[in-house]
C-alpha cells in the first residue's frame, strides 16, 4: 500500500509539472498567425513514411540505422512503461500479461531493444565526445546545447540499464512463474548463477531498486524534454504530420498583398464608402515572433539541432553567415523570451525583435532558396519559408534590399520586366537574323 501511495504521488507531481509546462508552451501558439492544413490522407502517408519508417534519416546509413533502432525501440518499450504505471497504481504485477503470446512477443522485443538502444547510446556519446563531427558545432551551438545532449543521452542509457536490471531480477525473483519472454535478461541471469546464488532479500531489493529507478527516470525525462532539444521526441511525429505538402520552393502568396491587389483591380472600390472604423493594416512579412505562423513555431519546437540542414547549405559551405539551423533555433529562443510578455499583453514590446536582434539581413540574403535544408531535415522543417517572410518584411516594410534587387524592382516598375530595356526595344537583338519559315 505504501508503494502504491508513493507511486501515485510521484505520478501526480509528474503530470502536474508536465501539464503546466505544456500549457505554457502551447499558449504561445495563440500568438501566431494561421497556417492552412488539409488533405489528411497524404499527411498520414507522409507521417508513416518519414516519421515511423525514418526514411530521410537513412541518408546517413550507419548512424541513421542506429537512430531508427532507438526510435523503434522506444515505441516497443513504451508498452512496458504503460504496464508499469498500471502496476504502480493498482499494486499489481505484470498486469498486461493476459495478452498471452502478444505480451511475450512485445516483452521479448523490448528486452532486445533495451540492449540495442544502450549500445547505440554509447556510440552517440562517443561520437559527440571524441568524433569531432563538424555539423555538431557552429556559432549557434553553445556549451549548453552540448551539455543538454549529453545529459539526455545519459538518462536514456540509464533507462535501458535499469530496464534490463528490472527484467533480470524479476526472473531471478520468480524463476518458475515469471510472465513474458526476456532473451537478453535470461542470458544475464545465467551469468548471475555462474557467479553464485543471491539471497531472496538481495534479489528483491535490486528488483525494486531497478523498478523505481526506471519509472522515476521516465518521469524525470518527460519533464526535462520540453526544456531541451530532445523535445522532438514528442514533437517530431506531429510536425511531420503537419508538414507543408506543396513542392519545395513553392512560395505562398501573402493575404495582405492579395487583398491590396484585389482592391486596386476593383473599380467599385474607388467609389466605396469609407468604413466607420478603418481596419488595421497587417504587417507585410515577419519582423518578430507574433508575425510567424503556428507552423513556423512548431518547426522551432521540433528542431533536433542535428545540423544536417546547415551541413548541406551551399551558402554556409562557401563561408557565408547563414546557418539554417540557427534561424530555427532563433525563432524558438525569441518566442521563449517574448512569449510570456505577449500572453499577458498582446501589445507587449521589449524593444527587441527576431529580425536584427537575433537574425541579421546578411544571413537572410545569403539564402539562395535552393531548399537543400528542407530536403535534408529528418523532421520536415521548412527553413526557407521563415527566411523568405523575414526578407519580405525587409523589402516591403523597411524598403531595404541589396542593390541588385533594387535595380530589378526599378526595372519592373518602369519597364514591366526585370531588364533595363523598354518594351519596344526587347526584340532589337533579333534584327538581322535570318529565320526560316516553318
Asked if residue 305 and residue 191 are part of one domain, the reply reads no
Q: Residue 337: which H helix or E strand, with range?
A: helix 324-344
Q: Show Cβ contacts of residue 90 under 8 Å, excluding neighbours closer than 6 positions.
A: 4
Q: Which residues pair with 359 in a beta bridge?
A: 355
Give the whole-angstrom CA distance, residue 317 versus residue 310.
8
CB atoms within 10 A of CB 93: 12
Domain count, the chain: 2
Question: Would you say residue 421 lies in a domain?
Answer: no
Give the whole-angstrom CA distance, residue 217 versus residue 160.
10
pLDDT score of 437: 63
Question: Would you say residue 32 lies in a domain?
Answer: yes
- Whole-structure pTM value: 0.88
Question: Would you say residue 272 lies in a domain?
Answer: no
Question: Would you say residue 423 lies in a domain?
Answer: no
Asked if residue 397 and residue 310 are part of one domain, the reply reads yes
Question: Would you say residue 273 lies in a domain?
Answer: no
pLDDT score of 269: 66
Question: Would you say residue 142 lies in a domain?
Answer: yes
Average pLDDT over every residue of 113-120: 97
Q: Show Cβ contacts of residue 230 under 8 Å, excluding neighbours closer than 6 positions.
A: 148, 149, 152, 224, 304
Asked if residue 259 and residue 200 are part of one domain, the reply reads no
Average pLDDT over every residue of 30-37: 92
Asked if residue 83 and residue 33 are part of one domain, the reply reads yes
Full residue range of the structural domain in which residue 376 is found: 255-267+282-415
Give the whole-angstrom CA distance, residue 290 versus residue 338.
9
pLDDT tens figures, 245-303: 999 989 888 887 887 778 777 777 666 666 555 566 678 899 999 999 999 999 999 99
* Long-range residue pairs from 337-340, CB within 8 A, at least 24 positions apart, any chain: 338/288, 338/289, 338/290, 339/27, 339/28, 339/31, 339/289
Asked if residue 156 and residue 27 are part of one domain, the reply reads yes
pLDDT tens figures, 408-420: 888 888 888 888 8
Amino acid at each position: 500500500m505504501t508503494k502504491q501511495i508513493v507511486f501515485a504521488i510521484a505520478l501526480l507531481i509528474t503530470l502536474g509539472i508536465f501539464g503546466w509546462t505544456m500549457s505554457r508552451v502551447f499558449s504561445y501558439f495563440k500568438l501566431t498567425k494561421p497556417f492552412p492544413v488539409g488533405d489528411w490522407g497524404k499527411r498520414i502517408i507522409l507521417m508513416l513514411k518519414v516519421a515511423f519508417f525514418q526514411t530521410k534519416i537513412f541518408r546517413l546509413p550507419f548512424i541513421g540505422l542506429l537512430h531508427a533502432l532507438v526510435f523503434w525501440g522506444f515505441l516497443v518499450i513504451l508498452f512496458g512503461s504503460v504496464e508499469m504505471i498500471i502496476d504502480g497504481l493498482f499494486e499489481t504485477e505484470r498486469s498486461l500479461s493476459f495478452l498471452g503470446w502478444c505480451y511475450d512477443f512485445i516483452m521479448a522485443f523490448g528486452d532486445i531493444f533495451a540492449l540495442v538502444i544502450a549500445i547505440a547510446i554509447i556510440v552517440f556519446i562517443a561520437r559527440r565526445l571524441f568524433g569531432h563531427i563538424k555539423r555538431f558545432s557552429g556559432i549557434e551551438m553553445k556549451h549548453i546545447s552540448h551539455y543538454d545532449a549529453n545529459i539526455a543521452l545519459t538518462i536514456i542509457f540509464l533507462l535501458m540499464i535499469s530496464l534490463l536490471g528490472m527484467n533480470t531480477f524479476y526472473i531471478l525473483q520468480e524463476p518458475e512463474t515469471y510472465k513474458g519472454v526476456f532473451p537478453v535478461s535470461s542470458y544475464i541471469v545465467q551469468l548471475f548463477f555462474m557467479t553464485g546464488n543471491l539471497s531472496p532479500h538481495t534479489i528483491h531489493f535490486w528488483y525494486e531498486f531497478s523498478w523505481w529507478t526506471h519509472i522515476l527516470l521516465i518521469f524525470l525525462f518527460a519533464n526535462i524534454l520540453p526544456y531541451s532539444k530532445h523535445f522532438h521526441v514528442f514533437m517530431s511525429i506531429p510536425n511531420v504530420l503537419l508538414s507543408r505538402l506543396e513542392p519545395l520552393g513553392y512560395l505562398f502568396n501573402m493575404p495582405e498583398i492579395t487583398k491590396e491587389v484585389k482592391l486596386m483591380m476593383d473599380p467599385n472600390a474607388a467609389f466605396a464608402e469609407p468604413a466607420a472604423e478603418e481596419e488595421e493594416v497587417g504587417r507585410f512579412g515577419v519582423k518578430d515572433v507574433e508575425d510567424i505562423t503556428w507552423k513556423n513555431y512548431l518547426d522551432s519546437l521540433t528542431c533536433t539541432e542535428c545540423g544536417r540542414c546547415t551541413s548541406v547549405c551551399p551558402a554556409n559551405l562557401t563561408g557565408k553567415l547563414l546557418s539554417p539551423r540557427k534561424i530555427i533555433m532563433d525563432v524558438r529562443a525569441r518566442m521563449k523570451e517574448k512569449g510570456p510578455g505577449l500572453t499577458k499583453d498582446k501589445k507587449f514590446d521589449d524593444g527587441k525583435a527576431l529580425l536584427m536582434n537575433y537574425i541579421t539581413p546578411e544571413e537572410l540574403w545569403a539564402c539562395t532558396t535552393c531548399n537543400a535544408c528542407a530536403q535534408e531535415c529528418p523532421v520536415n522543417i521548412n527553413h526557407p519559408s521563415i527566411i523568405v517572410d523575414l526578407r519580405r518584411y525587409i523589402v516591403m516594410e523597411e524598403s531595404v534590399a541589396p542593390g541588385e534587387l533594387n535595380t530589378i524592382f526599378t526595372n519592373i516598375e518602369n519597364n514591366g520586366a526585370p531588364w533595363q530595356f523598354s518594351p519596344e526595344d526587347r526584340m532589337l537583338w533579333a534584327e538581322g537574323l535570318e529565320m526560316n519559315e516553318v
